[in-house]
Amino acid sequence: MTFTVRWPDGSVEECYSPSLVVHDHLEEGATYAVEDFVSRTVTALDLASARVREKFGFACTSAAATSEQVVRSAAFFSPDQPVRVLRMHPPLPRQEQS
């Protein structure tokens, strides 16, 4: 899946995760403080990599690269500045209501 974020300076960055688990940690349209966003994202990507390891027997280097990318990008901002999640694709499948 991919998720697109807008950093405090207005720059937009697209990030990759091998798992939809990111939906458990971030919400499309939500704004997070940089520090919170980094924590949530790194946690989600660590879980995504673990899921890949469980299924295929090796960690996902793309998840690790995305974590590093997010940490590098965040280093330019103060911890309390806002990061907005613009898009998450694909969305979670909709649960049917009974």
Helix 61-74 to helix 34-56 angle, to the nearest 10 degrees? 170
As separate numbers, helices (DSSP H) first and strands (DSSP E) second, the chain gives: 2, 4
Q: What is the pTM of this model?
A: 0.89
Between 33 and 94, the higher pLDDT residue: 33
User: Do 22 and 1 meet the contact criterion of CB atoms below 8 Å apart?
Assistant: yes
Average pLDDT over residues 59-80: 93
- How is the chain split into domains, by residue range? 2-89
* pLDDT in the model for residue 86: 98
My answer on whether omega of the bond before 90 falls inside 30° of 0, hence cis, is: yes
Give the whole-angstrom CA distance, residue 33 versus residue 80. 5
If pLDDT is split at 50, 70 and 90, which confidence band does 98 have?
A: very low
Average pLDDT over residues 22-51: 95
